[in-house]
């Protein structure tokens, strides 16, 4: 059973939360599977060991994550240590895939936005700020490495921090009809 600051969730809220967990799990798994199949088939990314290592990391992590979500998170028994590293591992999967592709302008970077929006709904305060910083560092370092450009681009980081702050502000607004 999930417990919030206000107490135990009602059964309808639990059903909605379970449905959301399954939907998010399905979406993440489909994206990961699509990337892995595309990499193995040669549709994008490098060949050889870099491809194999990246696909193994992404597929292995998502398989372990799916088992964790179904076995512990959905039944309402989340493990604090796993919950705290999950967003970081999610972001490293995005970075690994983008690194394999090797193109700093490839649209895969938009998956970082997916992570920002998704985690804005779960985290707040210092936890969310740390996650945003981790995402910005991953995005910036990956773009820098792919482009071979070591000059800092503060405007990129500033844009991402503003975007993250705007998403958090939107999460605090009441939904229509509440």
CA 98 to chain centre: 13
Q: How confident is the model at residue 8 (pLDDT cuts 50, 70, 90)?
A: low
Tokens representing 17 are 């939360």
Q: Are 155 and 147 in contact (CB under 8 A)?
A: no
The model carries a pTM of 0.73
Tokens representing 170 are 């939107």
d(CA 84, CA 172): 22
Digit-coded pLDDT (tens) for 46-81? 788 889 999 999 999 999 999 999 999 999 999 999
Q: How confident is the model at residue 30 (pLDDT cuts 50, 70, 90)?
A: very high
Q: Are 40 and 50 in contact (CB under 8 A)?
A: no
- Cα torsion 31, 37, 43, 45 to 10°: value is 80
What is the per-residue pLDDT for 178? Answer: 39
Digit-coded pLDDT (tens) for 79-101? 999 998 999 999 999 989 988 88
Chain mean pLDDT for the chain: 80
What is the per-residue pLDDT for 143? Answer: 67
């Amino acid at each position: 059973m999930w417990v919030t600051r206000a107490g135990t969730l009602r059964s309808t809220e639990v059903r909605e939360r379970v449905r959301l967990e399954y939907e998010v799990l399905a979406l993440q798994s489909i994206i990961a599977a699509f990337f892995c199949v595309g990499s193995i088939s040669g549709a994008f990314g490098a060949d050889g060991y870099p491809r194999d290592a990246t696909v193994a990391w992404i597929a292995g992590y998502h398989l372990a994550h799916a088992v964790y979500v179904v076995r512990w998170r959905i039944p309402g028994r989340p493990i604090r240590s796993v919950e705290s590293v999950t967003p970081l591992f999610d972001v490293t999967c995005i970075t690994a895939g983008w690194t394999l592709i090797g193109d700093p302008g490839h649209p895969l970077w938009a998956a970082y936005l997916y992570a920002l929006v998704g985690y804005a709904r779960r985290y707040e305060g210092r936890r969310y700020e740390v996650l945003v910083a981790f995402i910005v560092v991953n995005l910036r370092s990956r773009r820098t490495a792919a482009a071979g450009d070591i000059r800092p681009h503060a405007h990129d980081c500033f844009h991402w921090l503003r975007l993250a702050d705007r998403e958090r502000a939107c999460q605090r607004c009441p939904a229509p009809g509440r």
